[in-house]
Structure 1
C-alpha cells in the first residue's frame, strides 16, 4: 500500500475541512508536471510551494514567499506530501483544524526538473525550471542531511528581478491557469478570471494591521504562590519589559509606557527584522545573560551603554498576530501560537520563548520558588492559563520575588569620604501624589564606573533645595552628614535591592543595581504586595460577572508541527534537537550528553534504583536558565515512575528519557524504597573555600575518613564535579531522618571543634573563609545529593565520579572537570574493579553511643 499521503490524511478531519482527501496518481505520459504556490493565511502567513513528483505534490512552506531576486535565499520548510487534487484547493480551513486559515492559489503552471526529481530530492539538491507566472531556473537546497529546512533561490537568468518580494509585489503578472487537462476550471472570483488565465489575480484582502499602541498587562506582587489549579509558572527575568511591534518587515521596540527603544537596542531590532516573522505584537523582556545563563540587569545596562550586543528578547505572550486580535483568547492558546511561531528559529538567535516550569500545585510552586532563589534568579511569574490579555495591573498575572527590589527616585547624594570617589550615597524616595517622600540612603552596590557615570548625570541636575517632602513624621531625617548633601532634581530612577524597612519607613541595607531609563520618575510610587488572602478576597468580590469562559484550544495532534531540528535514536529513545549545544568551553551537544548516559547506565543505575530522584533541567543548555525539579506535572516517560509524586528511575530507558527531557543533573535521596522515611546512608559533603589547595583537601578527607571509621562506618569516596568531595557511608535503615541528621551534625561539629583551622560546621558563608565546610545537611528528610556518575551543569561537563581511596593523591587534583562526560567511562573501564563494589555489604548500624562521645 502506498503511504505517501498517510501523514497528510492523519492531520485532517475530512468531515470538517473541505480539503481533498486525494489519492496518489500516475502521471499521464504526455502531461507536464504541475506546480502550484498557495498563499496561506494561517497562524503565520506563508506560501506553500508544491511540485508534482511521483504522483503527489511534494511541499515546502516558504514563510516569506518566493523571490525573483537571485541574491535572496528563502527558507523553505519541507512538510508532508499533498495529493495532486490539492493544487486546485482554495478557500477556508476551519478553526481548530490543522493549518486553519484562508488559502488562495497565488501561482501555478508546469515545471521541468534538470535531473531525476526523486533522486535529486533524496540528495537534497533539486534544480528545475518553472513555466507559469514564475518562470526561469530555480533551485532547492537542503541545509543538512536530516534537516527539514531547505533554501529556495531563483537562478540568474532573463526572468530574474532584483528586489522582488512576494508579499509586496503581489502575484506574478502572467500567472497561468492549471495546465492539467483533467483539472476543473476555477470559478471567476477574487482568485482570478478563468476565461482569461493570463489576467492577474486580484490581490487578497489586506489584513488588519497591528494597532499602533498596545497597553501592557502587568503582574501583581504576592507573598506566596496561588492556590488551586490552572496556574502556569515562568522564570522572572531581570531586564527591561519590552513590547515588539512588527509590521512590513520593521520592528519597533517599545517600553510598557510606550517609549521607543530602537535607538538603544538597534542591534536587537535589526536582528528581529531579519527573521521575517510576520506582523503583530510580541510581549516579552529584553535581557542579557551571564556565563551561567542568568539574566543580569547590570550586564544589560553595560550592553546598552556599548554596542547593544548580546541582547536577547525573551518572548512570553502574543497579544496580536497577522491581523487577528488574540487578547480575548486564553493565555494557553496565545502561548501555544507563540511557541509555534518561534519553533523554527535557531536556539542561539535574538529571540527565545520564556522558560516555563513543571508546577502543578502551590506546594510545588513554593519549592520551585525556593530553587529559583537558590539559583540566583529574580523569582517566578504565575499566570492563570485561561486568562485573557488585559490592560494594566491584574490578578491573573502574579510575581514572586526572590528578594525585595523596586525602583526609587533619586533626590540627592552625599559627598564621598575615605577612598570613595565621586559620591558617597544616593538619597532616594517614592512619589505620593505630588509629594516625593524620602525613603532612605543607598550606599553600596556601586562600581567605579557606575560612580563616575552617576556623578556625571547628577551634576546636570543640581538644585539648591531638597525635593523631598518633610510633612511625614520622621521622613525629613537625612542622616548625620546632612550638611554634605547635594540636592538634585528628581529625574533619575534607581533600581535598588534592600533587606526590608525600619519602623520609620526607611530602607534597610539598600544596594544600587542600576538606573532605569524605561520608567519616568513621576510614575515611581512603590509597589504594593498582596497577601494570598487579599488576592482571594479581591477575586471573590469581583463576582461571577467578571469571569471569562476560556476557549478550547485545538488538540495537540492538530497543533503540533513536525520537528524541524531532526532526531536521533539513542538506546531506543528518540532525541530531539540532538545538535543543540548543552555545554560550551568545550562544546558538548545534547546528543553527546545522552550518549554519555547511555554508555554509563550500567554503572550509574545501582546508585539510582529504588531511590527518589530530583532533577536539574536545562532545556536550552547550561548557558540558559536551569531549574531544580522534584515532581513531574505530566505523565512520566517510559522507565520512570512516581512515588508520592517523587520521581523514581526504573531502568536505563528512564534515565535516557529524562536526559532527552533536558535533565543534566540527577540528585538522589538518602533513603531507599519502600522505606523512604528511613535513611540508609550518611553523606558528609566537604565544601572547601575556593582558596584552599588540593593537598589540604586530601589531608582533610583522610581525617574525616578516620572519624567515620571510628564511628563504625565504612565511608566511600566520590568527587562532586565541583570543588569538593563526598564521603558516603551505607547504614542500616533503622533510624529516623532526625537521628541520622543529628549523628552527622555531631561528627561535623566535632571536626570543627578539634580542628578549627581546617573545618567548620557553620552554615554561615561568612564564617567559612579559609575553611572546609562539613555539610551535614544532606542527611535531612527530602534533602538530596548529586548521584554518582551524574553530569553537572557546569563548565567542562564534569561528572560526580566514584573513586578508590588509593586514588586520593595530593599530586593529582580530582575536582571540577578532571572527570567529565568525555573521559568518565574510559576511567571507569581502566580501573578494572568497581571501587564501590562492596557498598551494599558494608551497611552498619548507627552507634548512637558514639554520638554522645562526640558531644561530651
Structure 2
C-alpha cells in the first residue's frame, strides 16, 4: 500500500475537520473516484482516484473539461485517505488547504491498463462512471522543466459519446454539491442541505406492495420499463403531517432503523407522499451484507424511489406507471444526484439489452414493468423479475432466414460435437448488431451446404434453415438448458476464434445444467431432488432453499468472516470433508480472500457476503458453515469469543445447561455479556460479542484462563483440558475455538447429522425449558425469523485492562 505520511504531516487534526490518515483495503466491487471543488488560496478542483488503499490526487486548476481539445493542467499532490472521498466542509483558513470543499462529483472508475505501470510511465487511461463525469479519460504526465518541483500532468477527455464541445460546460452547469445539493456559500456557512417542508396533508398509510414474478428472461415487445434489481430492503416511505414513516414490505415500521433517511425525506417538497423504493447502503452501491453493516453502525443509507403511490392527498395507484413515474421525477427534480434520496434509473434498450448491461456490470438482474399498468398489491405478472444468465460456446450449423429488411437471418442454428456426432443445441436470435450480421454472413456463406449436418429429426424451429459446414464457434448467454438439452433465451455474445469446433463447452454446460435443477437466489442449483438427509428426507434443493430463507438472519453472524465448510456432496451417509481454502468451481457468491498463515505463507480462504453465497455453497454440497471469530476487514481483531460446552457421554443435557449458567455468571462477574446457542449436536455454545480492541493472543489467553479458573473452582464438574481421561464425568469448557484460524459452527447452520438439526441461538430463559440441544429443525428456524435473534441484543465489550483485572479478582474468590 502507498503512504499517507505527507498527508498527515501537513495537517493538524485537532483543528481541521478533515479525516485522519488511514490506509484501507479495497472494499466493494469498484474503485471509487471523487472530484472536490476546493476554494483555497486559489479555486481549483481536486481529482482523486482510489488505488492501493489511498486516493491518488491531482489539483486541476480550471476544473475538468468534457471537451477533448481542452487539456487541463492537473498538478499531482499528496495521496489522501479513502475516507477523504466523503469530506465536504470548510478547512480553517490558517490550515494547509484552508477554504471550502464541495463534493462536486463521485462515482467509480475503471482502469484500462495496469495502474502501477501507468503511474511509472506517466500515462493513465480509464473510464469514469460518475454523476457528472463519465466515459473515457486520460491523465498524461508533462515533461518537467529544469529545477521544477511540481509534478504536472494533463487531464484530457477522450472522444466518445460523453464528450462535449464547450470547454467550461461541466463546471458552469454544475455548481452545487453532488451529495447535499449545497452551494459553496451554503457549505461555508454550514447551512443544512435543504430545509424541512411544512407538509399540510395527513401522513399516508401503509399499503400492500406489488411484487414481481420471476421469469427466465425479460418480456419481449414494447410497453415495458426496465429498472435495476437492487440488493437491499424494500421500503415504503410515507411523508406528511406528523413526520416521516419508513415501512418494510411487510408493513413493519422501521423508521428507527432507517433513521438516516428521515431528515432527507422531510425535505421533499409536497403536501404528502407515499413512495415505493429500496434502501441500500452508503453511496447507493454495495450488497445486502454491506447494508446490514451500515444499519448496525448507523452509516449513511440511500433510498432509490421507483414508484409514487400517493401525492398531495391523491391516490395514484389507479394511474398507469408512466404517469406515476412522471410525478416521481418531478418530485425529485431538486434532489442532488448522489444524495440520500435518488430515482431508480430506467435502463435504456429492450429487456434483453438491459439485462445484459446489468449482468456485465455485476448486477443482480432487472425488474421489467408494464408502463400502462396500475399499481396493485401482491404478486403480479405486470412486474417481471429476471436475473443474470449463463454462457457457453456452440458450433454454428446453419441459419434461419429473416423477412425483416436489413437483417440477413433471424437466428443461428447451434450444435456441439459429442462423441463424433453433432448434437442439436437450439438457436439464438437476439444480441446481434449490424456489424455482427456482416461479420457472421461473411464467415458463413463460404461454408454453405445443401444438407443438414445433424443426424436424425430436428424440431420444427429448424425448418427452412440454410445449412453450413459446422466450423464457426460462437459464444452465447442463456438462462438454462431445457430437458431436451437445448438453450433457452439465448443471446449472441460474439465469435470465438480461439476455439476449435470440437472443443466447445456446450456439452459440459448442458450436463451440469441438466436434470432436476432450480434457480435459488440467482444460483443454478443442480440435483435438487438428491436426498442428503435420508432419515429426515431432506433433499439438496431443500437445503439450498433453507439457506436462502434464513440468509438475512444467518448473514448477520456469518457474513464476511473466513469460513470452513463441511461438504457432503452425496449426503451424510457418504463421505464428508471440511474445506477452508477456496477452490475452483464454486459459484461467484462464494468469494476468496488472502490470509497469511502461521508459516508466513498466504492462502485464499472462503467467505460469503450475500444470500447467493450461502446458496452457492449449498450447491457445492455444503451442509455446515463454520466461522472465524473475526471479520475480514480487521482479521487480527476478533469480535466474538466462544466457549463450547462439551459433556462427557455419561452426562445429560441438564448438566450442560447448568454449566452454561455458570459460565454466564463468571462472564458477568468480569464485565462481559454473553448469549447462548444450542449447537444442534450434544453441546451448547456460550457466545461473547467483543469490541475489537484486543488481538488474537489476548482473546485466546483470556479464554484459556477463564476456562481453567472455572475448572479450578469446581473440578468435579468441569475440565479445561481436552483429554478424554480428564473429561470423564465432567463438562469440557472448550476455549480452543478462540485461536486464530479456529472456527465454530455458525448460528442457523444445519448440522450434518441424522435429523438435520439446526444450530439455534436461544434466550437464557428459553434455555431452561429446552429438553435437548438438537431439537430445532429447518421449519423451526423459519418460524423464528419473525422474532429478533437473541444474540443481536447483547452489548459487546472489549477485553481491556479492567476486564483482565476483574478476571484476576474473580479467580481468587
Which of the five TM-score ranges fits, normalised by the shorter chain?
0.3 to 0.5
Q: TM-score, normalised by structure 2?
A: 0.39
Q: Which has the higher contact order (CA 8 A, sep 6+)?
A: 1
TM-score (norm 1): 0.37
